[in-house]
Every structure is written in C-alpha cells, then in structure tokens.
C-alpha cells in the first residue's frame, strides 16, 4: 500500500478528571467532578466529570450544586489550571515527536495531527501508546480525510478507541444523525435548520443552497451544507495560535444590584484583562461585556473601538457597555473582554493611536 495524507484528531479521554486521578490514584473508578473552588455551596459550574459521574447525568457547564445533588457521593475538586496546562504540554510534545507529524493544537485536550501513512489506524494506535507511555493518559483518535470527518470520527472511538470516517462511509455512519451531532453545529443552529425542514445530516448534505443562504448568509449557508457532507480542508495547520482577545469573568456569591458595585467589579476585571493584553503587545480594537441576570439569563454586548493602546480609552468604552445593563436587576455574573488587533490586520496598515499601558 502506498502512503497518503491523513488527518488524525487526538482527543484525551476525560482529560481534567484523568489528571486529577493520576495525582490521587485512590480516586480511580469513583465519580469525580471538577469545578470552581470545589465547593458545591458556591456558585460555580462543572469543568469536567469522570465517566463514572457522567453516568449520573453530570456534564460540563452544569451548576456545581446540581451536580452534587445528582451524585451525593462524588468527589468534588477545585480547578487547577496550571496542572492541566503542564499535562497538556507533555501530550502535545509527544504528538510533535511522532515522525513527520504536523500538529495543530485545539485546546488542552485535543489536537489535529497530519500524517502520511499507508495505515492510519496503525499510526493512531502508535500515537495512543506513545501518549500513554509518556503521560499515563488515554486518548481516542478519529481518522479522516478532512478535518471535519476526523473530528466527528473521534466520538465513535471514545473511550480509548480509533474510528475512521471518510467520504466513503460518511453518510452511512452520520447520515441519520441529527445535525447537532456535527462539529460546528450547536443547539441554536440545529433549531434554525429544523425550521427549514433540515433535521438530519443527510438532509443537510442534500439541502438546496438558496434557503440556507437566505437563513444564514451567502457564506455560512453553503458552509453548513459542506459540514453536512463532511467536506472541507484536509490541511493541518501548525501555525502557532494567536489569541484574538482576552477576557475575565466572575460569578458573584451574592447577586449585586447597585451600579457603583457593578462598575467597581468591571474595573477590577478590566485590570486583569489589560494586564493580559499588555503582555501581548497588540492594540485593542473592540470591547465586550457579558452579564448574567438572576436567575440565569445571559446577555452579551460588544462594541468596536478605534485601534488603541490607551488603557483609559478601553476602560471608558467598556463602561459605556456597563450603562446598558438593566437598572435594578440583580446580577449573578459579570465578564469583560478586550479584542485585539490580529497580526494580519497590522500588516494591512492599521495605525494604532499613541499611548501606553
């Protein structure tokens, strides 16, 4: 067999929980939930849950107090981001050490790996063994002829398995699945597709472009049909990821209402965000605000601004968004974000205003 190019999607199994179990072997086989400061009486959400906890219906993003009710005997641990970053870096280094591999990191626990091989399943198993030997972490691998197919294939390989999706078997495997099963289609998009009479992957793959373009726009409409077919790029890009922006948010243990208190919280978050942005050395081009009203209604506000390095300008523009918060309505969460100029934008000749952090 001759070699050809393949995309592998490597996804670590229950990554955060697995890292915690490595540090505390006595937790193996127990329901483990990681979130917030590990205190279910506080307002926080689940970052991840072990498979044992997931069996009780616990999932990422669930309020920690609800997760604790679902699994009364669960071990609930605080988030330890430095530990997960260190473990992730070991995994990615292992992937890059594979001969000829091109690695595109997607997050702590997943990456695309581009390889040339005559037997992609054998290569996938080699990578699984290498990751396990170096880090003691298990992973699943999706094999595909495009990024989309490789990403979706991983779901069929979990846990600790390997699965292949190509143009040949895509619709056989995915065709009857609801569109929400596709990478890039969330609940909102799937509902809008359903309103067009498109509920399955096959229906999306065969859909007329005109209604899709009318609903989602001339670019996104055809792109969703492409998702339905599993088509798209097969190029794994190892260009280092550049953050488009930095954000911070906080959940208040008691709702806040007073405008002065809200502004003070926004300024405190901005101090942290501006420190993150200053380290990047790129100007700010937009600001954003996220609010969660009690009991659980989330709103976001965004605002483009003139390209600037001036921190006072960023603060003033963010506080304009704070003014849009409904008065006398209790807040349980507040977040701020600063969008930065991207390197490609800078090359196109945008000139930032003068100033300093």
Contact 133, 125 (CB under 8 A): no
177 vs 353: CA distance, rounded Å = 51
Nearest to 343, CA basis, from 271, 272, 247, 240: 240
247 vs 270: CA distance, rounded Å = 8
User: Could you give the 3-state DSSP secondary structure of residue 318?
Assistant: helix
Tokens representing 178 are 């609801």
> Residue 342 — φ and ψ, nearest 5°?
-85, 155
40 vs 23: CA distance, rounded Å = 22
Nearest to 141, CA basis, from 155, 117, 180: 155
129 vs 141: CA distance, rounded Å = 12
Our answer to whether residue 110 is catalytic in this structure is yes
Contact 276, 246 (CB under 8 A): yes
75 vs 251: CA distance, rounded Å = 22
Contact 273, 336 (CB under 8 A): yes
Among residues 52, 110, 317, 339, the one annotated as catalytic is 110
234 vs 49: CA distance, rounded Å = 32
- Burial (0-12, 13-18, 19+ Cβ within 10 Å), 344: exposed
CA-CA-CA-CA torsion sign (90, 93, 98, 102): positive
Contact 339, 284 (CB under 8 A): yes
Tokens representing 324 are 């849009």
Tokens representing 89 are 């870096």
Alpha-carbon distances of 80 from 9, 47, 48, 199, 335, rounded to whole Å: 25, 11, 12, 39, 21
40 vs 253: CA distance, rounded Å = 12
Catalytic residues: 110
């Amino acid at each position: 067999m001759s070699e050809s190019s393949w995309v592998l999607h490597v996804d670590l199994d229950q990554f955060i929980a697995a890292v915690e179990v490595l540090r505390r072997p006595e937790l193996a086989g127990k329901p483990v939930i990681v979130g917030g400061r590990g205190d279910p009486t506080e307002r926080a959400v689940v970052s991840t849950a072990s498979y044992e906890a997931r069996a009780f219906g616990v999932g990422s993003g669930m309020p920690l107090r609800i997760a604790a009710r679902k699994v009364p005997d669960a071990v609930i641990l605080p988030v330890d981001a430095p530990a997960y970053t260190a473990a992730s870096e070991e995994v990615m280094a292992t992937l890059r050490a594979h001969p000829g591999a091109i690695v595109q990191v997607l997050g702590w626990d997943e990456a695309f790996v581009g390889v040339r091989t005559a037997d992609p399943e054998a290569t996938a198993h080699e990578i699984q063994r290498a990751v396990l030997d170096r880090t003691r972490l298990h992973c699943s691998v999706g094999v595909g002829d495009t990024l989309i197919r490789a990403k979706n294939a991983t779901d069929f390989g979990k846990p600790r398995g390997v699965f292949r999706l190509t143009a040949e078997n895509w619709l056989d495997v995915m065709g009857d699945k609801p569109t929400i099963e596709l990478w890039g289609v969330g609940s909102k998009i799937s509902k809008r597709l359903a309103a067009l009479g498109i509920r399955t992957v096959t229906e999306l793959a065969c859909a007329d472009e005109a209604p899709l373009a009318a609903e989602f726009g001339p670019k996104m409409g055809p792109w969703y049909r492409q998702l339905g077919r599993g088509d798209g790029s097969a190029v794994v890009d190892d260009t280092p990821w550049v953050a488009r922006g930095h954000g911070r948010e906080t959940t208040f243990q008691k709702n806040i209402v007073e405008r002065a208190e809200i502004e003070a919280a926004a300024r405190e978050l901005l101090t942290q965000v501006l420190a993150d942005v200053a380290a990047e050395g790129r100007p700010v081009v937009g600001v954003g605000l996220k609010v969660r009203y009690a009991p659980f209604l989330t709103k976001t506000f965004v605002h483009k601004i003139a390209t600037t390095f001036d921190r006072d300008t960023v603060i003033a523009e963010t506080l304009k968004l704070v003014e849009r918060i409904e008065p006398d309505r209790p807040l349980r969460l507040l977040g701020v974000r600063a969008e930065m100029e991207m390197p490609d934008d800078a090359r196109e000749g945008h000139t930032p205003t003068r100033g300093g952090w």
